[in-house]
A and B are shown apart, each in its own frame.
Chain A
């Protein structure tokens, strides 16, 4: 039981490049989330999904897109990376709307 995994763990991009972050969970959770963590700002929600095939915007969705084609996977895409997207990205999942969140190990992204 691997829990929540994230790929990659580190990445450096140049401004304008694109990339996809992969989140996978093996706990059959319905809810999945992408957060970004910046110093002094806590965790802010980018996008989330309440089930396979569904996605919704969170607090800071601009510049990101997501897809949930399979229940176990939640992809976060950056189409044209900007330095403001330098951050640590966390994926999380939850069995239901009232249960705890299980977090992945995070991805540190640097955009030059």
Chain B
């Protein structure tokens, strides 16, 4: 089974600053999808951003962008101009393009935004 590792259990950032959350994964496949999900205190899981492994261009969604390094199996999330509403647990997830029956999740990073 694929493994997804988030080595930062907790992170903090000053409001309006930039923060980067790390994620690495282990796979022998070449075609897959990577996701970042946000879980605020409400518990609802919200998709932040998605990256297809076959695309070299890093995905961007407004203030959220990723640094996808396929050879290094690294998928970090950069949040620019951090806002109080960004405070949440962030999960990195992997899904195979060939046998994509499930999502594999990391253990999460709790992000605190300091006013």
Contacts and interface: CB of A to CB of B under 8 A. Distances in A.
Interface of A: 31, 33, 35, 40-45, 48, 50, 56, 58-59, 88, 90, 92, 96-98, 100-101, 103, 105-106
Q: Tell me the interface secondary structure of chain B in the complex.
A: loop
Contacts, number: 57
B44 to A, nearest CB: 6
Contacts of B1: 59
Nearest to B45: A103
Interface of B: 1, 4, 6, 9, 33, 35, 37, 42-45, 47, 50, 91, 93, 95-97, 99-103, 105-108
A96 B91 CA distance: 21
A42 B97 CA distance: 22
